[in-house]
Structure 1
Amino acid sequence: MKALISLALAGLSCMAAAADGRTQSAQEANATDVERYEYATNLDIARVIHTDDIPDDVCEVVPIHMVYEDSHGERHTLEYSVMGRGCGGF
């Protein structure tokens, strides 16, 4: 279930990032400001600003960061897990 949610977040964030030409590196975000996604996390995502690329050379679960604005215009950085794309069969 968590993998499905992670994939949905990744797909949604990629579409929104492609629609918005502006990006900000998640590495610029202060590490203490990073929120970690968990199954029960209540998300308020109004606009995705940037997502890290999913690595093509890794076949394991890796952390990804998404920078987004909530419905009040506040910027957040969310860390969540996705499966790397380097597994050959995927």
Structure 2
Amino acid sequence: MNNKSVVAACLFAALNICTLSARAEAAAAPQTYTYGTHLDIHQVISLEQDNSVACGIVEARMTYLDSAGTTRVLDYSKFADGCNNDN
């Protein structure tokens, strides 16, 4: 094999790995948090929230890995970040 073939094979393998991880994240069905929900959070991947409200309750979403390495998505409500200085 020449160098171009090796580089092309490595690039193809890297793109396949990225595609598989993106599909795994997209395939995770969101779970809505309720009081008493058991959470097994090993690593947080991303945190998102609705930024349309300056202060108040907003909907948020956390994507994380559990202890088995499975991607999970959790929807929950929280105070907006704009409420930090309000009582």
Output the TM-score relative to the length of structure 2.
Answer: 0.58
Show structure 1 runs of 5+ residues with no match: 1-27
Structure 2's unaligned 5+ residue stretches are 1-24
Shift of 1:87: 4.4
CA distance in 2 between partners of 1:64 and 1:70 (Å): 18
- Report which of the two structures shows the higher radius of gyration computed on alpha carbons: 2
Q: Give the whole-Å Cα distance in 2 for the aligned partners of 1:44 and 1:87.
A: 28
Q: Which residue of 2 aligns with 1:46?
A: 42
> Whose RCO is larger (CA < 8 A, sep 6+)?
1
Structure with the higher helix share, 1 or 2: 2
Residues matched between the structures, number? 62
Pair 1:35 & 2:35 matched: no
Percent sequence identity is 35
Q: Does the 8 Å CA contact 1:54/1:85 hold for their aligned counterparts?
A: no
Match of 2:75 in 1: 79
